């Protein structure tokens, strides 16, 4: 869901560059496999310590809430465009994003701009 508002800010230059690469990969039509664990997006994060996130419980809470709100399940694979459609309709457009991740340190970025998927 973070990719809906990603503008090039992040935990480190490496993480930011990797997020941009992932966004480009997904928008070109890649499928996503939904997980509540450390994933490919997390691979360049400085909070990723040998495959374990330092904020694992918070991230797991966010991920599970997204899955629940969208009627999706962990391990499910679907086109990224379908995932973004679910997130946009069920979370962002319905105003539920702050309930899910409003305590995130990057919340200001998300609340100050529109979702890149608002027209999906």
Per-residue model confidence as pLDDT tens digits over 89-118: 999 999 999 999 999 999 999 999 999 999
The mean pLDDT of 29-35, rounded to a whole number, is 94
Paired with 31 in beta bridges are: 79
**Residue 106 CB neighbours (<10 A):** 15
The mean pLDDT of 7-31, rounded to a whole number, is 91
| 92 DSSP 8-state letter | I
Confidence of residue 9 (pLDDT cuts 50, 70, 90): confident
Q: Are strands 52-53 and 48-49 parallel, antiparallel or unpaired?
A: antiparallel
Q: Is the pLDDT of residue 120 over 80?
A: no
The mean pLDDT of 62-85, rounded to a whole number, is 96
45 vs 73, residue with greater confidence: 73
Q: Is the pLDDT of residue 8 over 70?
A: yes
Write down the mean pLDDT value for the chain: 92
């Amino acid at each position: 869901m973070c990719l809906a508002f990603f503008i090039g800010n992040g935990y480190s230059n490496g993480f930011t560059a990797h997020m941009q690469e992932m966004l480009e990969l997904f928008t070109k039509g890649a499928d996503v496999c939904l997980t509540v664990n450390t994933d490919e997006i997390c691979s360049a994060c400085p909070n990723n310590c040998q495959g374990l996130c330092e904020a694992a419980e918070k991230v797991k809470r966010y991920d599970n809430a997204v899955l629940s709100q969208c009627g999706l399940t962990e391990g499910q694979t679907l086109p990224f465009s379908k995932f973004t459609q679910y997130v946009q309709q069920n979370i962002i457009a319905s105003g539920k994003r702050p309930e899910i991740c409003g305590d995130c340190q990057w919340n200001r970025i998300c609340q100050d701009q529109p979702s890149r998927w608002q027209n999906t």
